[in-house]
């Protein structure tokens, strides 16, 4: 007869007992003189003993020892075998609820259908799921931008017959919200639910011809067409030479100036062919009465490069290069030039600000 005070791992060499020598065990709840509740376990002699049935050994455990025994049993046999459900630690403090994420994950593994049912019945769950997805996509955006090996692996494995631009093209097609909330003060939506890239001159959306990497349009009653050309984050913003064009003046790179001309040519050809407005069509090709998309000096964007390319050998930004690049793009009417790191910063701000609003006090 003993009361267990502690539970710890045993290092002895112990063999498994034979089932035929097994004993019965009975349990009972008792309270000691201090008012502590104890679980009392009594074993009885083996069933094949010649003498009458009588108690053989007894053990008592308090709640602390019992909790440790439960933990050991769960680690040994698993919750599924024990038919046990993980306990969720949820503490409501002054700042809100704090949940043990590991235990929550264990609970989901045990009862995924219950979690799905709860989410389905929660009107706000869709927003939470969408926000979690956007956070993951922002993390992927940053990794594509900063991890060269990751980006190159994406290009080689997913687009072996296409260039680096295909990686970004596909990423933005999967995440049209990045363009939709990051490029303009107006909400932009993809022209097509299937592809950002569209033919906009020749046998195109108006009637093989000139393509634009991303064709969008503004939301609202009056919708206007918006064009975007997508290069890569590795394109130089300024001419990659050691000396400036003139003292303190650096020329735009061939890729930057070429992208500007390309974007301007795409918009010009589209306006020349389509005119001031384009009739919206139903799925069967018929006109949708009163629904048009306008091309009145349509906005256009060029996404190219990374501002980190304007850093000097010491790691700081080259002020003459910053000035040259900023003055060049500020004077352009079309397209508006945006670097990939700027687009990432806008997407991060959008996700973080939305998350703050979602969990703030009403």
SS (H, E, C) 58-79: EEEECHHHHHHHHHHHHHHHCH
* CB proximity list for 200: less than 8 A, separation 6 or greater: 206, 209, 210, 211, 212, 215, 227, 266, 269, 270, 274
Mean pLDDT of the chain: 79
Cβ–Cβ < 8 Å for 167, 158: yes
Helix (H) or strand (E) holding 266: helix 254-274
Residue 224 three-state SS:
strand
Quick one: pLDDT band at residue 243, thresholds 50, 70, 90?
confident
**Mean per-residue pLDDT, 138-158:** 94
Q: pTM of the entire structure? A: 0.58
C-alpha 18 chain-centroid distance: 54
Quick one: pLDDT band at residue 38, thresholds 50, 70, 90?
very high
**Mean per-residue pLDDT, 132-153:** 92
Alpha helices, DSSP H, located in 15-147: 63-77, 79-82, 101-110, 112-120, 125-146
């Amino acid at each position: 007869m003993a009361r267990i005070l502690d539970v710890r791992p045993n290092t002895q060499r112990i063999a498994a007992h034979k089932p035929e020598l097994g004993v019965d065990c009975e349990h009972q709840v008792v309270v000691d003189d201090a008012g502590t509740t104890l679980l009392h376990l009594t074993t009885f002699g083996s069933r094949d003993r010649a003498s009458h049935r009588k108690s053989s050994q007894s053990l008592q455990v308090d709640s602390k020892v019992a909790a440790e025994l439960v933990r050991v049993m769960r680690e040994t046999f698993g919750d599924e075998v024990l038919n046990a459900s993980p306990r969720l630690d949820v503490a409501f403090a002054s700042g809100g609820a704090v949940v043990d994420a590991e235990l929550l994950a264990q609970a989901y593994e045990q009862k995924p259908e219950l979690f799905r049912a709860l989410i389905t019945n929660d009107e706000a769950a869709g927003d939470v799921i969408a926000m979690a997805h956007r956070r993951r996509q922002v993390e992927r955006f940053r990794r594509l931008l900063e991890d060269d090996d990751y980006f190159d692996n994406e290009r080689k494995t997913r687009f072996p017959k296409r260039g680096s631009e295909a990686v970004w093209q596909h990423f933005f097609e999967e995440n049209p919200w990045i363009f939709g909330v990051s490029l303009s003060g107006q909400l932009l939506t993809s022209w097509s639910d299937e592809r950002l890239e569209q033919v906009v001159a020749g046998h195109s959306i108006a009637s093989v011809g000139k393509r634009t990497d991303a064709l969008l349009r503004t939301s609202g009653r009056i919708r206007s067409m918006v064009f975007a050309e997508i290069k890569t984050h590795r394109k130089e913003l300024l001419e990659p030479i050691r000396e400036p064009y003139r003292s303190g003046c650096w020329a735009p790179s061939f890729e930057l100036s070429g992208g500007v001309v390309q974007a301007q040519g795409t918009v010009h050809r589209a306006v020349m062919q389509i005119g001031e407005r384009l009739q919206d069509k139903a799925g069967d090709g018929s006109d949708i009465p009163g629904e048009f998309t306008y091309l009145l000096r349509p906005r256009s964007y060029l996404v190219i490069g990374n501002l980190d390319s304007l850093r000097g050998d010491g790691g700081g930004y080259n002020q003459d290069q910053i000035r040259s690049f900023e003055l060049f793009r500020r004077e352009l009417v079309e397209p508006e030039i945006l670097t990939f790191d700027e687009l990432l910063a806008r997407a991060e701000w959008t996700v973080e600000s939305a998350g703050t609003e979602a969990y703030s006090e009403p």
